[in-house]
Structure formats: structure tokens, C-alpha cells
Amino acid sequence: MRVLVTGGSGFVGQRLCEQLIEQGHDIQVVSRRPHQVRDRLPSGCDIRDSAQAFIESPPDALINLAGESIAGKRWSDEQKAKLINSRVATTKQLVVLCEQLQANGQPLPKVMVSGSAMGYYGDQGKRVVTEETKPNDEFAHRLCKQWEAAAQPIEAMGVRLAIVRTGLVLDAGVAAYRRCYRRLSWD
């Protein structure tokens, strides 16, 4: 399959692209800086600076991971806006790509796996959380809600949409708590 990945240069994306290439898929990566991230990705990846740049080679599947780093900076009001807007804008790029493919009579992807996070539920204390749990209305929830909503229009075009509310991703040799929580403050 031909798989387009936004955020393919990131912590999760790099590992995902490696595995997809190993499985024999063709990988298209959207990055804001294709030349700088070249050496982070397997040599077979086609890296371009927008989703629209792949219009001539329509992907069979979309995986949407890009967004301003959650742990990069303190969550000032300005940074919170960046966290939301970067994810919503990237997701909309994929919706626009599908609209253009449809308008051109080109094949649409069969599926889009779009990122979200356990933050959707907000702080639930020690409660066991399921998909039915009522979210706590705080910044993390509002971010995920807008990120998920930006992907919804793709379903109306007949593309299957899977939203993944990822928990904390771990990797051997990477200090997760230092990486993720050093500079993070809730709400």
C-alpha cells in the first residue's frame, strides 16, 4: 500500500515508518523541513513539504500524527493556541487533499488513522477510563476534541476514519517522564 504519514519525522512516526517500509509499503511523509529530517527516516521514504504535493500519487491510507510538541515548551496561552492550531491545520490539509482527489476523479484513500490522545478524557484521577467516560473539560480535552473534529469531514467522503487516543508512548533508552513532563503544566 501507499501510506502518507504526517509527523513521520517524530518520535512515533519514525518507528512507524521503519515498520511500514519493512512490511513492504511505500511511504510518503509530510514534513515542514524535508531536507533536515531525511536522515531520520528510511531511505525509501518520499518526503515532501505538504500533503498536496502528493496529489499526483494518491495514497491508499493516511496516518496523521503531526503537531507542535506537547512537551517542548510551557503551556502559555500562545503555546496552547499553537498546540491546537498546528494539529487542526495539518488535519485540514489531509481533508483538502481528499477533496482535491475527489474533484479530479482520482481514487480516495481507503482509511485515515488520525491522531488524538488519552488527554481527550482530561484528568480523571484514579478512575478507570473507557470510551464512554465523560471527559473532564480542560485544555487537553479541548485540544483533542478540536483535533478529532477536524478529521470528521473525511468520513462524509467515504473514507473510513479511525481516531487513535494514544496513551504515553515508551521506547527503550528514552526517558519518558523527562521527555514528556519536564516542562508540562496542566491548564
Residues that bind ligand NAP (CB under 6 A): 7, 9-13, 31-33, 37, 65-70, 82, 86, 90, 115, 117, 166, 168-169
- 114: its cell numbers: 488520525
Least separation in angstroms between residue 54's CB and ligand NAP is 15
Closer of 69 and 100 to ligand NAP (Cβ)? 69
Closer of 156 and 174 to ligand NAP (Cβ)? 174
Closer of 111 and 140 to ligand NAP (Cβ)? 140
Closer of 85 and 104 to ligand NAP (Cβ)? 85
Is 97 in contact with 145 (CB distance < 8 Å)? no
3-state secondary structure of 169: coil
Closer of 32 and 110 to ligand NAP (Cβ)? 32
Least separation in angstroms between residue 32's CB and ligand NAP is 4
3-state secondary structure of 118: helix
Closer of 111 and 144 to ligand NAP (Cβ)? 144
Q: Which residues of 87-108 are buried (b: 16+ CB within 10 A; e: fewer)?
A: bbebbebbbebbeebeeeeeeb
Which residue lies nearest ligand NAP, judged by its C-beta?
A: 10
Least separation in angstroms between residue 24's CB and ligand NAP is 23
Is 111 in contact with 126 (CB distance < 8 Å)? no
Least separation in angstroms between residue 142's CB and ligand NAP is 14
Other beta carbons less than 10 A from residue 114's beta carbon: 24
Least separation in angstroms between residue 145's CB and ligand NAP is 14
Please, which contacts does 168-176 make with residues 24 or more away whose CB atoms are closer than 8 Å?
168/118, 169/11, 169/12, 171/11, 171/15, 174/11
Least separation in angstroms between residue 23's CB and ligand NAP is 19
- 173: its cell numbers: 533508552
